[in-house]
Structure 1
Amino acid sequence: MNIVYLNGEYLPADKAKISVFDRGFLFGDSVYEVIPFYQGVGFRLTEHLARLEYSLRALQIQTCQDWEAILNLLVSQNGGGNLSVYLQITRGAGDSRSHRYGDDLSPTVFACCTPIKDIYTAGPDDIVPMKVIVTADLRWHRCDVKSTCLLPNIMVVHQAQAQDADEALMMRDGKLTEGSSCNVFIVLQGVIYTPKRGSEILGGTTRELIMQLADEHAIPSQEVDIDYEMLKTADEVWISSSTRGVVPVIEIDGDQVGDGEKGPLWSTMFELFIRYQQKLMTGE
């Protein structure tokens, strides 16, 4: 049975109900996180919850919850194992639809689980590389806030699908930002480059881990502005996200990346990821 969490209760998904006047439903006035759990253990849970608190502060949504306890129990009630947990907090529901809101609203807290594959038990040969397109970044200018206002993301993913691609990378003012639901890395002459962190990209927890692992293993990396030419001439291109890990890109706008194969530095980073995840799971 699919058990969800809603405002303090754990209940079957078909029994969970919210008000039609909930501001998350009407305005996208809400934030969210997607957190992978492997063998019932949250992967970089502390970092995800820190980002959640950042988003809540940015929108001035005030709620005090023991998020870790809530999510751990939800995972347990859904059988543990390998699950992606979606957590959403809205500003709450008023008595009618209005752009204005008062301080008396009680936030709506919702969470659910979806089974995922443990990407870290797979070998590099099992990872399917991606084809991507590059398109305009249509989103608002506070992409550092993980808001549920995802219509532009949906539009570019549909555009990618229409062109037989797996993902869309976005550019704003001639600079690469990120993908529809991922961060982006390129490799040039053995150096890892990724767009500078700021208000126009999300500070991905997996992105931060890649930079951490690169630093710990003396792999040169930099945050820089990346234009289209730099992207297209890269030796390797990767995307990263919490549920996908780090995945190689072998085609951009119909042209192959490098030699069209998974790159050697990606293989190194994937191996570092596996070691990190195994240590998290086993403590060894």
Structure 2
Amino acid sequence: MTSVRRLQMRMLERLIRLVPGVSLQMSVRELGALDWPIKRPRPYRRRLFDAALAPMAPRVRKMCPSFKEVHDYFKELKSSYSEWELALVAHIRGIIKKEGYQVMGICHRLATKQRTEWLTRNQLRLKGLEFRDYGNRIIRKVFEDTPLQPLNDTIFVATNCQLFGKDINALRAMITECEKIDWLMPIAVVYGSRILSISEVKELCKLPSFEDHRAQTVQLLSRPSMDLISTISYHTHDLIRTLEMVGKQKTST
């Protein structure tokens, strides 16, 4: 019994001797890595530099911004544009006017390989279409204060791209080519300043030729005016002949 008691006392003494050393070591490590994200002591020169600089540059207490300040900051950041972005917006507007683009197709796109995207660009260019992906933020600024501004809050909110064409025949090319591409889906089409739905464009694509349809439309619209002109001219000439006959009768009498 006494031997067991002595053994317990010896183990307790050894434990007491070990505990201060462990606590001292842990405190030194914690002080060394107080401002360091990695749980290890910093180099000696770094600690010496911090100790020498501490009286000259005291720590500044940082205040956490409120939720309203953070919300206002990100709102202002979202609505503001840098000089580079404004220059890009002016460049896009200049290209649209210079190239004479009258048709714009807005398509929802999926992620694809860069090689596939460039191959699709070249294929669409052969069909008279220009594939562009400037991002919704830039496109919203391009169409700001224009008849197409309602698209900013309804269409330009997802991963979109644009297809530009120069004439009305580009409508048919957009629908037919997008059906062949599995990562492009048209969602709206703009012709001039008018926004067309995909269902309307598909109905137009069923016509044999846009130029023939345009000629027929112009002919139908011009027919009433031509009939009106011929009717007015007939009555005018009839009135002139009647007045001439009346004048001749008066002179003869």
TM-score over 0.5 for the alignment? no
Q: Pick the structure with more strand per residue.
A: 1
Pair member with larger Rg? 2
Q: Pick the structure with more helix per residue.
A: 2
TM-score when normalising by structure 1: 0.21
